[in-house]
Amino acid sequence: MKQHLDSLRKKINETDKKIVKLFEERLNTVSKIAALKKQNNLKVFDPEREKEVIKRAASYLNENSLEKYLTPFMDEMMTQSRQYQIDLIGSPGTVTGENRKFKIKDDSVIGYLGVSGSYSEEAASLYFGDNCKKRSFGHFDEIVSSILKGEIDIGVLPVENSSTGTISKVMDLIGSNDVYITGEHISKISHNLLVLPGTKLTDIKEVYSHHQGLEQSIKYLKQYPWELIEYKSTADSARLVQKLQDKTKAAVASRRCVEIYGLEIAVPDINFENNYTRFVMTGWEMIIDENCNKISVVMDIAHKPGALYKVLRLFKDRNINLLKIESRPIIGKPWEYLFYFDFEGNLAEDRVKDLIEYLRNSSGIFKLLGNYPAFSGKALAQQTGM
């Protein structure tokens, strides 16, 4: 038996030698294709061509039952051929934007959701300083639109909450418009039940707030038979209660709204414990400097087995720490998704440039959302009193 096994292994070795020789021959041809693509400014990734190559290879089989083994083999070879082309062509132009940090000027305008007292306004003041010039908006899309029109310099947008997850509408707006993330801030959020002075819990019939405020406080609110009504923002809700002067109305909002709108706190801290919101500073240009250590991108991934694994492996191979991955449906393409990635790195690093270029050339849809300074754990600890 051992003699027969050794004989078969020897045959395998001879076959592998032929495969390696053919692999080298194939990559030599791939190098010529890469040169032509570079000369004619063509994308490395051609999904239709790759499908055609794999399908044709399967047609050469004498035993059709082996197709399920051949397909991943060919797919991996196409992946490596693509990487080889990228290595040959290089990645010029990957780093876009000026190497400078955004600085507030006297006439810079920062846009935020809601009216005075909103958490977005507070995040703007904490990030840019109390003296920054701010402008309020009623909807997220109005903020993005004003950035694109040049009416404001930066928009402060909430993208994620530790209790309720990603704010999908905001991520979709950033991903689908020509705007970039330039910074981030994380705030500890404390929601309070605000009422007119002298109001009792038994007087309340309706509670107003932004839907995030209601969701983050739902565990407390559902104890009572109150009607929960979504409104523009938490601060707008507080202003509404003040305006209506009706003790049957209450709002879920910040402590700052107590002084601003002459209300009082009926019940403090009604939200989930350890409740934080991540805000991103969003502008019309990408701004990069040596302090930028976090990158966000969005891309589509081929709708086939193993496609996501291949992308994740790219991060591991380059020793790049992946911080977050989330999928969002592609409008008009049922059951196909865009993937948002947050990871550590600076676009000046070779390994990061290589990764970005490979991701760009491995997808039909790709956008670099920004390279910016991550909010520090030390700053977060200061908010928690740790």
- Annotated active-site positions, please? 277, 279
Torsion sign across C-alpha atoms 294, 333, 139, 262: negative
192-195, strands of its sheet edge to edge: 227-230, 206-209, 249-253, 192-195, 264-267
Q: Which residue has the tokens 């000046």?
A: 348
For the chain, the C-alpha Rg in angstroms (whole number) is 27
